Amino acid sequence: MNRSELVTALSERAEVTRKDADAVLTALAETVGDIVAKGDEKVTIPGFLSFERTHRAARTARNPQTGEPLEIPAGYSVKVSAGSKLKESAKGR
């Protein structure tokens, strides 16, 4: 399902216009992105998903072509976890 299909499904289920559904989806994505970028709190939609920023330590890797060691600097990543209701849905229940 791509973004336009998701917007259409949301608009039909919530009985709102596609424009309104798209605006809400955009606002949700921006809000979650802003909170995760700060990194000081976790965003949780109970039973559905949770998002949090995680720290990755610096590490040494190898170039697969030459075998040379590469230093990968420390950085940040995002951890997304499925909630209990989403997990149950995936099981077909």
pLDDT tens digits along 33-92: 999 999 889 999 999 999 999 999 999 999 999 999 999 999 999 999 999 999 999 998
Is the full-model pTM beyond 0.85?
no
Q: Which two tokens stand for residue 89?
A: 């849905």
| Cα gap 30→59, rounded to integer Å | 31
* Residues 34 and 46 both lie in one domain: no
* Residues 1 and 29 both lie in one domain: yes
With vertex at residue 61, the alpha carbon angle to CA 55 and CA 66, rounded to the nearest 5 degrees, is 155
Per the document, the length of the chain is 93
* Residues 13 and 53 both lie in one domain: no
Domain that holds residue 89: 39-93
What confidence tier does 24 reach under pLDDT thresholds 50, 70, 90? very high
* Residues 54 and 66 both lie in one domain: yes
Alpha helix (H) residue ranges in the chain: 3-14, 18-38, 84-90
